A and B are shown apart, each in its own frame.
Chain A
Amino acid sequence: MTTLFASLRIALRALMVNKMRSSLTMLGIIIGVGAVIAMIAVGSGAKKKIADQIASMGSNILIVLSGSSTSGGMRFGAGTVPTLTLDDSKAILAEIPGVRLVAPHVSGVAQVIFGNQNWSTLVYGTIPDLLEIREWSLNSGRVFTQQDLDGAAKVCLLGKTVTDNLFGGIDPIGQIVRIKKVPFTVIGVLAPKGQSAWGTDQDDTIFVPLTTAQKRLFGMQFPGMVRVITIQAREPEVMKTVEEQITELLRQRHRIQPGQENDFSVRNLTEVASSAEESAKVMSLLLGAIASISLIVGGIGIMNIMLVSVTERTREIGIRIAVGAKSKDILLQFLIESLALSLAGGTLGIGIGIGGTLILSSFTQWPVLFSAKAILLAFFFAGSVGVFFGFYPARKASLLNPIEALRYE
Chain B
Amino acid sequence: MMEPLIQIRDLVKTYHLGEVEVQALGGVSLSIERSEFVAIMGASGSGKSTFMNILGFLDHPTRGEYLLDGRSGTNLSRDELAEIRNQKIGFVFQGFNLLSRTSALENVQLPLIYGQIPSKRRKEMGQQALSAVGLEGRAHHHPSQLSGGEQQRVAIARALVNRPSILLADEPTGNLDSKTSGEIMAIFQRLNDETGITIVMITHEQDIAAYGRRKILFRDGRVVEDSVS
- A is bound by B: yes
**Which chain B residues lie closer than 8 Å to A322 at the CB level?**
56, 58, 85, 91, 97
Expressed in whole angstroms, the Cα–Cα distance for A320 and B110 within the complex equals: 8
For chain A residues 350-383, which have a beta carbon within 8 Å of chain B? none
**Which chain B residues lie closer than 8 Å to A328 at the CB level?**
79
Contact B116 A2 (CB under 8 A): yes
**Which chain B residues lie closer than 8 Å to A319 at the CB level?**
97-99, 110
Expressed in whole angstroms, the Cα–Cα distance for A329 and B111 within the complex equals: 12
What per-residue 1/0 map shows which CB atoms of A197-211 lie under 8 Å from chain B?
000000000000000
Contact A323 B158 (CB under 8 A): yes
Expressed in whole angstroms, the Cα–Cα distance for A13 and B53 within the complex equals: 31
Contact A2 B110 (CB under 8 A): no
17 A-B residue contacts at CB 8 Å?
A: A2-B117, A3-B113, A3-B114, A13-B102, A316-B99, A319-B98, A319-B99, A322-B85, A322-B91, A323-B85, A323-B86, A323-B110, A325-B82, A325-B114, A326-B83, A403-B53, A406-B93
What per-residue 1/0 map shows which CB atoms of A1-37 lie under 8 Å from chain B?
0110110000001100100000000000000000000
Expressed in whole angstroms, the Cα–Cα distance for A325 and B118 within the complex equals: 16
Contact B119 A2 (CB under 8 A): yes
Within 8 Å of chain B (Cβ to Cβ): is A315? yes
Q: Do A329 and B114 contact each other (CB < 8 Å), given the known contacts A2-B119, A403-B53?
A: yes
Shortest Cβ distance from B165 into chain A, in angstroms? 14
What per-residue 1/0 map shows which CB atoms of A46-58 lie under 8 Å from chain B?
0000000000000
19 further A-B pairs in the complex, CB-CB below 8 A; given A2-B117, A13-B102, A324-B85 = A2-B116, A2-B118, A5-B119, A6-B119, A315-B97, A318-B97, A319-B99, A321-B82, A322-B56, A322-B91, A322-B97, A323-B86, A323-B158, A324-B83, A324-B86, A324-B115, A328-B79, A329-B114, A406-B93
Shortest Cβ distance from A310 into chain B, in angstroms? 15
Within 8 Å of chain B (Cβ to Cβ): is A349? no
**Which chain A residues lie closer than 8 Å to B97 at the CB level?**
315, 318-319, 322, 406
Which residue on chain B has the smallest CB distance to residue A2?
B116
Shortest Cβ distance from A160 into chain B, in angstroms? 69
List B residues at the A interface (Cβ < 8 Å).
53, 56, 58-59, 78-79, 82-83, 85-87, 91, 93, 97-99, 101-102, 110-111, 113-119, 158, 162
Within 8 Å of chain B (Cβ to Cβ): is A67? no
Total number of residue pairs linking A and B with CB closer than 8 Å: 64
Expressed in whole angstroms, the Cα–Cα distance for A322 and B79 within the complex equals: 11
A interface: dominant SS:
helix
B58 CB contact (under 8 Å) in A14, A325, A329, A403: A403
Expressed in whole angstroms, the Cα–Cα distance for A8 and B182 within the complex equals: 40
Expressed in whole angstroms, the Cα–Cα distance for A2 and B120 within the complex equals: 11
Expressed in whole angstroms, the Cα–Cα distance for A319 and B97 within the complex equals: 7
A324 CB contact (under 8 Å) in B59, B93, B114, B119: B114
Expressed in whole angstroms, the Cα–Cα distance for A326 and B83 within the complex equals: 8
Expressed in whole angstroms, the Cα–Cα distance for A6 and B82 within the complex equals: 18
**Which chain A residues lie closer than 8 Å to B99 at the CB level?**
316, 319
Contact A17 B101 (CB under 8 A): yes
Expressed in whole angstroms, the Cα–Cα distance for A315 and B97 within the complex equals: 8
Contact A402 B79 (CB under 8 A): no
Within 8 Å of chain B (Cβ to Cβ): is A59? no
Contact B85 A320 (CB under 8 A): no
Shortest Cβ distance from B159 into chain A, in angstroms? 8
Which residue on chain B has the smallest CB distance to residue A13?
B101
**Which chain A residues lie closer than 8 Å to B158 at the CB level?**
323
Contact A326 B91 (CB under 8 A): no
**Which chain B residues lie closer than 8 Å to A196 at the CB level?**
none
Which residue on chain B has the smallest CB distance to residue A321?
B82
**Which chain A residues lie closer than 8 Å to B86 at the CB level?**
323-324
Expressed in whole angstroms, the Cα–Cα distance for A320 and B83 within the complex equals: 12
Contact A323 B116 (CB under 8 A): no
Which residue on chain B has the smallest CB distance to residue A328?
B79
What per-residue 1/0 map shows which CB atoms of A315-346 lie under 8 Å from chain B?
11011111111111100000000000000000
Contact A323 B83 (CB under 8 A): no
Contact A324 B117 (CB under 8 A): no
Instruction: Select the residue from A6, A318, A323 with max chain B CB neighbours within 10 A.
Output: A323
Contact A3 B116 (CB under 8 A): yes
Q: Do A327 and B79 contact each other (CB < 8 Å), given the known contacts A2-B118, A2-B119, A319-B97?
A: yes
Shortest Cβ distance from B102 into chain A, in angstroms? 8
**Which chain A residues lie closer than 8 Å to B98 at the CB level?**
319
Q: Do A324 and B118 contact each other (CB < 8 Å), given the known contacts A17-B101, A402-B58?
A: no
Shortest Cβ distance from A309 into chain B, in angstroms? 13
Which residue on chain B has the smallest CB distance to residue A318?
B97
Expressed in whole angstroms, the Cα–Cα distance for A250 and B224 within the complex equals: 114
Expressed in whole angstroms, the Cα–Cα distance for A6 and B118 within the complex equals: 10
Expressed in whole angstroms, the Cα–Cα distance for A326 and B84 within the complex equals: 11
What per-residue 1/0 map shows which CB atoms of A375-409 lie under 8 Å from chain B?
00000000000000000000000000011001000
